[in-house]
Structure 1
Amino acid sequence: MPADRSLERLANATLLVPFEAYDPPRWTLEGLADGIAGVCLFHNNIAGPEQVKELNRLLGEAADAPLISLDEEGGDVTRIGHVAGSDYPGNAALGAIDDPELTRAVHRALGAELHALGFNLDLAPSVDVNTAADNPVIGTRSFGADADLVARHAAAAVTGLQEGGVAACAKHFPGHGATHQDSHDELPVIDADADLLDRRELLPFRAAVDAGARSVLTAHIQLPALGATGPATLTPEIVTGLLRREIGFDGMVISDALEMRGVSGDIGVPEASVRALRAGCDLLCLGRYVYADEIAAIRAAVVEAVRAGRLSGERLEDAAARTAAARQWTKERPAAMAGAADVGLDGARRAVRVEGELGPLHAPLVVEFDAPVGAAVGDVPWGVGPWFPDAVRLEAATARPADVLSDASGRDLVLVVRDAHRHPMIRSFVTELCRARPDAVVVEMGLPIWRPECRAHVSTYGAARVNAQSAAEVLGAAGPASLRLR
């Protein structure tokens, strides 16, 4: 059995750590030098392109090709675009267009931008088949509800990202699209038997693996029909049995964030880390708020688990070898291919759908309805307000329809919602306004599942900046060309 110091370095080689700063803390640089596999950046680490390039340069110099990663899906889930919204349409918009070559080009451009900023691993794409309309965590992050469609775009996205110069990561295995709960808060349960799982959830993962995805990220979901109890991330039958042996994936398996309550709420992050490694995960994504002291506790728990025989030394060595191979791949990656200019905006424009007769709008009053977003999305601006300076943002719980109707007197009325099908209060508010103003226009910037009776209904299939600009153009706004704030 390796000595404790060797075990500590092996444990370090399985850690993907966060930190809370625009500059790398000393403990992070020292940890990378001592074998920590890499870092995951979030909004709180990114102020702008030049800052993040310098940050990533310092991180990259701390060790030999550390993994420098982030969750950058484009669309609603963006880190590099968190100031003004993403320059790339999300997966739902690309799925609505259903042009795999466009999906590949968009992800190639995204990968090239990430590569130029100093990243080498993108925790994307989401290849979940979103079959639950009320899914609170996937939604527009999915290419769609049809497994074949998702599979062809999964392969295109993986290919594009890796052509752009970063390792892709297909997620959330074995599929988070049929859930009605958010694994950030609880453990969702999916009632899918082996046959349905194979025909629906697993098809896009097979396509992503066949396309050469360098990594796959697990889901904190429970699949009782498979005879497995507890989160998939901690289940050997799913990670090792299903992903490794049945599908034949030989790359790096990454856990979803272990601070999420769906995996560690009852046992704590150190114990979840041990069980994830034992199940077959190679790289432990710890989340956003797990820092130096907690990381030391995780390392100690892994070492102790090997000493106690709960985790084999061979499994830990195998995990470390797979993260080392991923790091070597990024080190040897050739220069990224340049992305096509405005490919994201062009794609977002192609995704917009208009039902009804829109026609010219007269001095429109634009009313946007705020709605909570999932933890994966975070606080990212959305809406068409930048193109309509007098647009108003309302809370359906506190605003009054009569006030909106009064303000809209003599003007066209545009109502902007986001996943209205998931928010009954917003639906009621919009329905009342449309009854009083059947000439109103409704813009849906989430999934267009609910459509009220109105003059025209505009669907963008996402709330990224480029989706918003595309909607604004359809509404007749000239639009500020200088909106790119990043």
Structure 2
Amino acid sequence: MSQRIGNDEVGRLARGALLPSFDGPSVPRWVLDELERGLGGVTLFALNGNVPGTDELAALTARMRTAGAPLVTIDEEGGDVTRLGGHKQASPYPGNAALGAVDDVALTRRVYRSLGAELGAVGVNLNFAPSVDVNTAADNPVIGTRSFGSDPELVARHAAAAVAGTQEAGVAACAKHFPGHGATVEDSHLGVPVVDADLELLDRRELVPFRAAIEAGTRAVMTAHLDLPGITAGVPATLSPAVITGLLREHLGYRGVIVTDALDMKGASGAIGIPEAAVRALLAGADLLCLGPREHHESLLAVLAAIEDAVASGRLPVERLADAAARTAALKDWLAGSAPVPVDRAAGLDAARRAVRITGDLPAFPAAPLVVELAANGNIAVGPTPWGLSAWAADAVRAEGTPDEAGDVLERATGRGLVVVLRDAHRHAGQRALASALLAARPDAVLVDMGLPVWRPEGAVHVATYGAAQANARAVAEILGLTN
């Protein structure tokens, strides 16, 4: 069949499977040209300067639609992984960990519907969310608060609610990271994490939320760059027919669009390069290929050449490209029939307030307390979005997280309350060391953990927010009396 289709048609089919990126707040000419030639869409990144503001973003997406009907995709999970604020401000919606802590599926649906409404208003039509990973590894460096929790059934019911809410807003949901990134202790941006699970374990843990998302009608599923030794035999899941075609298509019966996580990540292309990873992902059964934040026109052309060569050699059947194109077309048809819904930001603050958990008795602060925010390394998925309580505090200081800093902090806090703000303290020895030193001298200090509250010193007054979004920060600031 490949011999009966011309090179132009093969090129168009290949373009339809690609989601490149670009720099800046306006659409480059090459993107418009490629859209006219059949490019599937683009992925927007705050770090690329694509999101300077909502008005500018709406204008950018409208400009793209003068050249075609692109899928405009973004990583907007709410919570710690947010792009709509351009990394200049945190999200008004708490993330999945907070929603899981509340465990009200109607509220989760409401939050995701409002988040979808915000995306639809600026022209984004495919959101790379929700993350439906079951976070069973406490030291997971890349999921954490992005997960609804460690219980598969809890994650499943909220996965379904998140999908439903997003798609009620006319935006396609994308359940990720298949077959599940929650049991890993390595970041797939930097390597190939291993999930040591056979099919029986996957069926009762990782795959439970994906089944729920599929039953809820998710329009897309994103693959992860993971190695499941018993299933993939050393091949990352994104490049594995056993995972994409075997597990997702045949075992779970999924018929919608399958999109890869960014192919520039080391877990996918570190050993073989992005063009070869693209060909292998298509061969495995993927329909859309997210190339990554630095993969612009030159990378697009290299990937196109690799796909066209694979078709010409007979390695990649053109039917596989046509199959991917048909699924993408069906997704675009669904999007064409969607209608906007109103934004409901009150849902975010409601959820954040209900998620706060307090251990011990909060002291009454007669005067403004000193707020000490301890440094916490983020991950690539989260990015440099600001976090903490300093925006609400009359007096706040940042600390790197060493016991040597305790003396200066204690002196500054003399005669008033002390609030110590942590983030995933169980993953940061420096945070634990400094917090312990402060508690030894000031047992009345309040610890606020804006990550997962795994580390809770015995006897300490501890406040857990389950995330570092703007909504989480405001909720705890109200409780501590830091707001007006």
Does the 8 A contact of 1:434 with 1:454 survive in 2? Answer: no
Tell me what 2:21 maps to: 18
Tell me what 2:444 maps to: 439
Q: Structure 1 pair 466/227, CA: closer, same or farther in 2 (3 Å)? A: closer
Q: CA RMSD in A?
A: 1.1
Does the 8 A contact of 2:77 with 2:129 survive in 1? Answer: yes
Partner secondary structure for residue 43 of structure 2 = strand
Deviation at 1:337, TM superposition (A): 2.2
2: CA distance, partners of 1:218 / 1:174 = 7
Tell me what 1:33 maps to: 36
Partner secondary structure for residue 387 of structure 1 = coil
Partner secondary structure for residue 458 of structure 1 = strand
Q: Structure 1 pair 293/399, CA: closer, same or farther in 2 (3 Å)? A: farther
Q: Structure 1 pair 398/62, CA: closer, same or farther in 2 (3 Å)? A: farther
2: CA distance, partners of 1:443 / 1:406 = 20
Q: For 2:6, which of 3, 16, 19 is the aligned residue?
A: 3
Deviation at 1:179, TM superposition (A): 0.3
Deviation at 1:392, TM superposition (A): 0.8
Does the 8 A contact of 2:175 with 2:213 survive in 1? Answer: yes
Matched, 1:79 2:83: yes
Summarize deviations over 1:148-183 as a string: whole Å, max 9, x none. 000000000000000011000000000000000000
Does the 8 A contact of 2:368 with 2:482 survive in 1? Answer: no
Deviation at 1:228, TM superposition (A): 3.0
1: CA distance, partners of 2:452 / 2:200 = 28
Runs of 4+ in 1 over 3 A off after TM superposition: none
2: CA distance, partners of 1:227 / 1:284 = 20
Tell me what 2:66 maps to: 61
Tell me what 2:172 maps to: 167
Deviation at 1:246, TM superposition (A): 1.1
Counterpart amino acid of 2:73? S
Tell me what 2:119 maps to: 114
Counterpart amino acid of 1:347? A
Deviation at 1:60, TM superposition (A): 1.7
2: CA distance, partners of 1:249 / 1:131 = 25
Q: For 1:372, which of 377, 402, 419 is the aligned residue?
A: 377
Deviation at 1:397, TM superposition (A): 4.8
Tell me what 1:50 maps to: 55
Does the 8 A contact of 1:111 with 1:166 survive in 2? Answer: yes
Counterpart amino acid of 2:148? F
Counterpart amino acid of 2:281? A
Unaligned runs of 5+ in 1: 480-486
2: CA distance, partners of 1:226 / 1:268 = 23
Does the 8 A contact of 2:400 with 2:430 survive in 1? Answer: no
Counterpart amino acid of 1:317? A
TM-score, scaled relative to structure 1? 0.96
Q: Structure 1 pair 443/328, CA: closer, same or farther in 2 (3 Å)? A: same
2: CA distance, partners of 1:31 / 1:266 = 28
Deviation at 1:453, TM superposition (A): 3.9
TM-score, scaled relative to structure 2? 0.97
How many positions carry a matched residue from both structures?
477
Deviation at 1:287, TM superposition (A): 1.0
Q: Structure 1 pair 338/200, CA: closer, same or farther in 2 (3 Å)? A: same
Matched, 1:290 2:290: no
Matched, 1:248 2:253: yes
Q: For 2:74, which of 63, 67, 70 is the aligned residue?
A: 70
Counterpart amino acid of 1:28? V
Tell me what 1:483 maps to: none
Match runs of 1:231-246 below 5 Å:
231-246=236-251
Deviation at 1:398, TM superposition (A): 9.1
Deviation at 1:368, TM superposition (A): 0.2
Counterpart amino acid of 1:465? Q
What is the percent sequence identity of the aligned residues? 57
Deviation at 1:229, TM superposition (A): 2.4
Q: Structure 1 pair 145/306, CA: closer, same or farther in 2 (3 Å)? A: same
Matched, 1:353 2:357: yes
1: CA distance, partners of 2:54 / 2:174 = 23
Summarize deviations over 1:246-295 as a string: whole Å, max 9, x none. 11110000000000001100100000000000000000001101011111
Counterpart amino acid of 1:132? A
Counterpart amino acid of 2:77? E
Deviation at 1:225, TM superposition (A): 2.2
Deviation at 1:96, TM superposition (A): 0.2
1: CA distance, partners of 2:413 / 2:218 = 51
Tell me what 1:382 maps to: 387
Deviation at 1:235, TM superposition (A): 0.2
Partner secondary structure for residue 415 of structure 1 = strand
Q: Structure 1 pair 399/166, CA: closer, same or farther in 2 (3 Å)? A: farther
Tell me what 1:263 maps to: 268
Greater shift after overlay, 140-149 or 110-119? 110-119
Matched, 1:421 2:433: no
Counterpart amino acid of 1:124? A
Partner secondary structure for residue 463 of structure 1 = coil
